[in-house]
A and B are shown apart, each in its own frame.
Chain A
Amino acid sequence: MAEQHLPERQSPLEPEYHPGSHGNFEHGVDVILSETRPGSILQLAAWPGEEKRLIEIIRKVAGLALPDGAGGGVSSGARAVFGFAPGKFTVVDEAEGLAQAFAGSITPAIGTLTDLSHGRTAIRIAGPKAEWVMAKFFAIDFALPAFPLGAGRSTNHHDVFAQIQRSGADQFDIYVFRSFARSFWKALCHASEEVGYEVQ
């Protein structure tokens, strides 16, 4: 991948990002909150009938094999992908430059590529009470059988649209609009106070 010379990104969470333990943590920290700051966040969309070709391109370019089914996904270390709508996928990479890697493959006949790397903020919640805290925000089933490992969900919290991927048995990655990220983050911190949380 070509070396990138982009300016360093500022986090929209910064004024409210306070590493350390907070809330009710005397008996232990039950969730860990962090900003994962991926270098690339892309949305790929296939025209009707071109979904299989797009899934094959994702496998070739990103090395991620999408499982069958609505909202299916996979999270493997530095990269992740999940379906968020019919024929549409979010692809994430720790490194910058994933859009350039896809640009040659996704022709206008297959679909579209939208680079949202600067438009979304990725927030991770992990720990034994992650499902509990998430359930206070979103009216969807976070239990492992209903929301399997790697799967993605599109939903919203008070009209703040969110894409959620389960990246671990007790870990979720939440993608929100950058412009709403600080407000969402503050709400997430408040909601985590009762269980004790650590910002990393």
Chain B
Amino acid sequence: MLITCPYCGPRDVIEFTYQGDGNRERPQPASQNLDAWNAYVYDRLNPAGDHNEIWQHSGGCRAHLRVVRNTITHEILSTAFARGGHKSADNRAEGRS
């Protein structure tokens, strides 16, 4: 499996670290909304198909990335720097690899 880092280009998956589901929305640290925290910690879409994920190119440039991966085929549909903000799987627009 190859992931195309927006900085480094295509690299073997062994250079990357999975940082979790990219659909989660983290509540403000001071938030006391238990439902929001519960959703952040436990609720997962678990789709059979395109999935938003956060990865880090830990064995390369060390940038954090937004990756859309198909959970059935493992095809990487897009990659982008996480710094740019959040985009959903259905709203992917840039960095198709």
Contacts and interface: CB of A to CB of B under 8 A. Distances in A.
A153 interface: yes
Interface residues of B, number: 15
Nearest to A139: B12
Contacts of B62: 85, 154
A85 B61 contact: yes
A154 B12 contact: no
Interface residues of A, number: 15
B20 interface: no
Nearest to B59: A156
A88 B63 CA distance: 11
A71 B63 CA distance: 13
B7 A71 contact: yes
A88 B61 CA distance: 9
A153 B15 contact: no
Given A70-B9, A85-B62, A154-B62, 14 more contacts: A48-B83, A70-B6, A85-B63, A86-B61, A86-B81, A88-B61, A139-B11, A139-B15, A154-B60, A155-B11, A155-B15, A156-B15, A156-B59, A161-B59
Interface of A: 48, 70-71, 84-86, 88, 139-140, 153-156, 159, 161
